[in-house]
């Protein structure tokens, strides 16, 4: 936990204190030891304008005058650390754990020592006009020791990116991505795009917030806006707009000390303010609330963003899900009122087929296969029917992509150049973990003969079977509510009349899995652990 350098400094500190017959070691001992023993601490203090030689003299005089010593005729013992000494070391260790460092460095101890404002050591630092923010800035961007083990960027690169080009370091230029052909065109969503363009052209509150379930195409809308801008298919007022996508991971990475994150966010906002018609896209915008804040501080990324949004200097496009909007974003009224909410609903099956048709050239070129129209129709219909935990068009796109990938990795003699309905059905069966026959059978034929199929297996229950079959036909015809169960049935009767058998045969006929719970096995209190 403690670095080798700091360990040697503490050993020398205790040795010197014992030789001087000191009863205790305090913060003055600690500050003197790290100033004399750490070149990085010494360099940081000199960078802040401290004459370290004078500071060492002042600390030594304070220690000699104020530290109690053992009498000459008394045997010496190990000097005991003061409460403040222990508190500083513990605070440095907690900081290192929270910032994901491996070891405590002398620099961490110096920063923690500044929080002991009433101590003589902190007084001497204040006497030399040492400020916490100056040390943090030095250690974050100028000290080589803190960045020596970081593989991401060198210290010089970090300085240059922050000072010269924060947009390149912490954002993705979507217009450049379009020019490099790394963004697919937007298919459909004309109404949502028109609404977003209308909000962006407002004088005030010109910040659209795209709210929808995961996978419905919120990010694709923002990327599609950049695509339309590059193709000159937007209103004249947005013809020269530049869309930047904020990279929250890059903003937070390496921000060890308080002030680092805020400096990066402000640098990005300042750089965007210099670009005419700049648009900032923030995916998962609810993560801005609380990002970069410390314990006891309300300053986070969202509070840094509010002034720019309020004054209209920055136009921002946000994206989040309904759950996160309700639980996180909407509770910050000052931030949410600066955005115009745009609901992004799940597209229908026919709209999804249109989207797949638009993406067809990209997938065919990537997988070197040909997709039939039946494949796209099956991907949209079957994914909507059997993959229930996700949303269109994302799950349908994944199905056709996986079907292409399956042919790409197949043996040359088994590889097919055309992907049709059968290949899509096999992929759906694997994803949903159901038999292929369940996916490939014709629903209309099954429903038409459902009652007769059940009566052929269960005898004497014709009236109950007719009621169940009628309810299922009504639900499958589209007259029911899709978010609710197809039916909830309570079979009552004596033992052995066929209640369980009707459920089993119904599951077999419809090609669905039967989950059976025998409540007689849960009659005892301890059975709840099963």
Q: What is the CATH number of the domain that holds 422?
A: 1.10.8.60
Single out the residue in 381, 405, 440 at which a domain terminates.
440
Longest CA pairwise span in the chain (Å): 109
pLDDT tens readout for residues 381-404: 888 888 888 888 889 999 999 999
504 and 472: one domain? yes
137 plus 229 within the same structural domain: no
User: Could you tell me if 219 and 287 lie in one domain?
Assistant: yes
Q: Are 247 and 171 in contact (CB under 8 A)?
A: yes
172 within domain boundaries:
yes
Taking only the tens place, the pLDDT of each residue in 115-153 is 888 888 888 888 888 888 888 878 776 544 444 333 333
How far is CA 274 from its chain centroid? 28
Same domain, 432 and 450: no
| pLDDT per position as a tens digit, 401-445 | 999 999 888 888 888 889 988 888 888 888 887 776 666 656 677
Q: Do residues 95 and 108 touch, judged by C-beta distance below 8 A?
A: yes
Does 31 have pLDDT greater than 60? yes
Helix, strand, or coil (residue 420): coil
For the chain, the average pLDDT equals 82
Asked whether residue 58 falls in the same domain as residue 29, the answer is yes
Q: What is the pLDDT of residues 210-263, one digit of tens each?
A: 999 988 888 999 999 999 998 888 888 888 889 999 888 887 776 666 567 778
pLDDT of residue 112: 87
Q: Are 241 and 277 in contact (CB under 8 A)?
A: yes
CATH number, domain with residue 182: 3.40.50.300
Q: In this structure, are strands 242-246 and 171-173 parallel, antiparallel, or unpaired?
A: antiparallel
Phi then psi dihedrals of residue 440, to 5 deg: -85, -15
Q: In what order do the strands lie in the sheet with 171-173?
A: 171-173, 242-246, 278-283, 315-320, 208-211, 340-343
The number of beta carbons lying within 10 Å of the beta carbon of residue 97 is: 11
CA proximity to 30, closest of 12, 48, 43: 12
CATH number, domain of 113, equals 1.10.1780.10
Q: Is 75 exposed, middle or buried (0-12, 13-18, 19+ CB in 10 A)?
A: exposed
Residue 68's domain comprises 4-147
pLDDT at 370: 92
Whether 190 and 328 map to the same domain: the answer is yes
pLDDT surpasses 80 at 266:
yes
Q: What is the pLDDT of residue 259?
A: 66
Residue 164: what pLDDT?
A: 61
| Rounded Cα gap, residues 8 and 17, in angstroms | 14
133 plus 252 within the same structural domain: no
Which string of b and e fits 199-215 if b means at least 16 CB within 10 Å?
Answer: bbeeeeebbbbbbbbeb
Per the CB < 8 A criterion, the answer to whether 428 and 448 are in contact is no
The torsion region of residue 254 among left (phi > 0), alpha (psi -120 to 50) and beta comes to left
pLDDT of residue 443: 67
458 and 429 in a common domain:
no
Do 100 and 128 fall within a single domain? yes
Does any domain span residue 528? no
Q: Is residue 525 part of a domain?
A: no
Residue 158 within any structural domain of the chain: no
Identify the pLDDT of residue 399: 92
The mean pLDDT of 279-302, rounded to a whole number, is: 68
Provide the pLDDT for residue 209: 92
Q: Residue 68 and residue 90: Cα distance in Å, rounded?
A: 24
Last residue of a domain, one of 281, 314, 343: 343
Q: Which of 99, 120, 147 is the last residue of a domain?
A: 147
Question: What are the pLDDT digits (tens) for 52-65?
Answer: 888 888 888 888 88
| Residue 188 domain flag | yes
Name the residue among 397, 384, 402 with its Cα closest to residue 356. Answer: 397
Neighbours of 296 (CB within 10 A): 5
Half-sphere CA count of 67, side-chain side, radius 13 A: 25
The reply to whether 11 and 115 lie within a common domain is: yes
pLDDT at 457: 84
- At 195 the pLDDT is 92
Overall number of domains in the chain: 4
At residue 158, does pLDDT exceed 50?
no
Looking at residue 243, its pLDDT comes to 92
Which residues contact residue 23 at a Cβ distance below 8 angstroms, ignoring those fewer than 6 apart?
67, 68, 69, 70, 79, 80
Separation of alpha carbons 363 and 383, rounded Å: 18
- 95 with 80, same domain: the answer is yes
Per-residue model confidence (pLDDT) at position 253: 76
Task: Give the integer Cα–Cα distance in Å for 325 and 475.
Answer: 32
Tell me what pLDDT residue 300 has: 63
Give the three-state DSSP class for 177: helix
Give pLDDT, residue 142: 56
Percentage of the chain exceeding pLDDT 70: 88
Q: Please state, in angstroms and rounded to a whole number, the distance separating the CA atoms of residues 115 and 88.
A: 8
Does residue 61 fall inside a structural domain?
Answer: yes
Same domain, 14 and 120: yes
Q: Is residue 72 part of a domain?
A: yes
Please report where in the chains the tokens 């970081």 appear, as a residue: 150
Note whether residue 58 is domain-resident.
yes
Which residues are 303's β-sheet partners?
Answer: none
Instruction: Give the pTM.
Output: 0.59
Q: Rounded CA gap, 184 and 242, in Å?
A: 17
At residue 292, does pLDDT exceed 50? no
């Amino acid at each position: 936990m403690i670095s080798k350098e700091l360990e040697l400094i503490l050993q020398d500190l205790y040795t010197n204190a014992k030789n001087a017959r000191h009863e205790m070691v305090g913060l003055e001992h600690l500050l003197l030891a790290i100033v004399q023993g750490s070149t990085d601490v010494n360099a940081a203090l000199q960078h802040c304008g401290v004459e370290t030689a004078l500071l060492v003299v002042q600390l030594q005089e304070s220690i000699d005058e104020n530290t109690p010593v053992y009498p000459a005729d008394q045997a010496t013992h190990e000097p005991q650390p003061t409460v403040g000494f222990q508190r500083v070391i513990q605070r440095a260790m907690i900081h290192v754990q929270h910032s994901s460092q491996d070891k405590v460095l002398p620099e961490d101890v110096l920063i923690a020592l500044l929080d002991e404002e009433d101590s003589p050591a902190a007084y001497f630092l204040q006497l030399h006009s040492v400020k916490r923010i100056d040390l943090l800035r030095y250690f974050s961007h100028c000290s080589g020791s803190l960045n020596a083990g970081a593989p991401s960027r060198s210290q010089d690169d970090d300085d240059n990116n922050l000072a010269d080009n924060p947009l390149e370091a912490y954002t993705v230029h979507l217009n450049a991505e379009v020019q490099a052909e790394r963004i697919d065109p937007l298919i459909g969503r004309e109404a949502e795009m028109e609404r977003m363009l209308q909000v962006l052209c407002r004088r005030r509150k010109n910040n659209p917030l795209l709210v929808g379930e995961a996978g419905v195409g919120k990010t694709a809308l923002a990327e599609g806006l950049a695509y339309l801008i590059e193709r000159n298919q937007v209103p004249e007022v947005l013809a020269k707009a530049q869309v930047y996508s904020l990279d929250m991971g890059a903003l937070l990475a390496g921000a060890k000390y308080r002030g680092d994150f805020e400096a990066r966010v402000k640098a990005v906002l300042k750089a965007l303010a210099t670009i005419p018609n700049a648009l900032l896209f923030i995916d998962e915008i609810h993560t801005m609330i609380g990002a970069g804040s410390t314990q006891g501080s309300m300053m986070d990324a969202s509070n840094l963003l509010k002034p720019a949004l309020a004054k209209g200097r920055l136009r921002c496009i946000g994206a989040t899900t309904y759950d996160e909007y309700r639980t996180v974003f909407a509770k910050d009224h000052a931030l949410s009122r600066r955005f115009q909410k745009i609901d992004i609903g799940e597209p229908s099956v026919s709209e999804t087929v249109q989207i797949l048709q638009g993406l067809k050239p990209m997938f065919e070129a990537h997988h070197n296969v040909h997709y039939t129209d039946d494949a796209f129709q099956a991907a949209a219909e079957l994914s909507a029917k059997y993959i229930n935990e996700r949303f269109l068009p994302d799950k349908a796109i994944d199905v056709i992509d996986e079907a292409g990938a399956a042919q790409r990795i197949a043996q040359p003699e088994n590889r097919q150049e055309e992907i049709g309905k059968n290949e899509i059905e096999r992929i759906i069966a694997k994803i949903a973990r159901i038999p292929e026959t369940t996916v490939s059978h014709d629903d209309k034929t099954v429903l038409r003969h459902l009652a007769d199929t059940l009566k052929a297996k269960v005898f004497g229950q014709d009236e109950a079977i007719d009621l169940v079959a009628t309810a299922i036909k009504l639900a499958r015809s589209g007259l029911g509510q899709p978010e609710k169960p197809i039916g909830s049935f309570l079979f009552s009767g004596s033992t052995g009349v066929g209640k369980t058998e009707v459920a089993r045969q119904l599951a077999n006929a419809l090609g669905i899995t039967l989950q059976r719970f025998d409540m007689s096995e849960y009659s005892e209190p301890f059975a709840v652990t099963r």
